Amino acid sequence: MIDCKIDRLPTELGKICKANGIQIKKNSMLDQDKLLPNERGKTHYIDDKCFIIVRDTDPPPIQRYTIAHEIGHILLVENSPEDAAERFAIGILAPACVLHALEIERAEDIAKLCNISITAASNRAERMKILNQRNAFLKHPLEREVYEQFKPFIQSKKINTN
């Protein structure tokens, strides 16, 4: 997020993909390398070019999460564990420090702001409760840097909701 200068929600996944040489391909547009029925997305390499294939019949919030998850696999080293890719995806789509600063706690509000599914937003809301109980925000230098990058967005959102 820092390197790609992501400073607002919903996260512009296209910026992250472009900066990392990743292309998105819609499953319905492919003749081969199609997704299996139980797959939402996958990473595929052709001639050293990286592609994320996404099931474009899924709703956009689910496609976004799938893309973020696959970016996690790519950037965290291919074949990284599923849990790491999941944490990466929710971290870039719904950064905890930004949600905390905006005082957004309800899953419905997270889903709307971040353009993610209610399921992903519910999981994030549960995690936010734990982080709030621990007062575990802005502890890491990188989290503080993300917060500073998002500060104008946070301030504009607070003005618009008052």
Q: From CA 133, how far away is CA 83, in angstroms rounded? A: 23
* pTM to 2 decimal places: 0.92
Overall number of domains in the chain: 2
* pLDDT tens, position by position, 85-144: 999 999 999 999 999 999 999 999 999 999 999 999 999 999 999 999 999 999 999 999
Based on the domain organization, do 111 and 87 belong to the same domain? no
pLDDT in tens, 63-84: 999 999 999 999 997 566 999 9
Give the pLDDT score at 79. Answer: 62
**Residue 156: inside a domain:** yes
Residues 64 and 115 in one domain: no
Shared-domain flag, residues 63 and 113: no
**Residue 13 belongs to what domain range?**
9-93
**Residue 41 domain-assigned (yes or no):** yes
Residues 6+ apart with CB under 8 A from 96: 124, 127, 128, 131, 137, 143
Q: Point out the domain boundary residue: 59, 77, 93.
A: 93
- Judge whether 84 lies within some domain: yes
Do 14 and 86 fall into the same domain?
yes
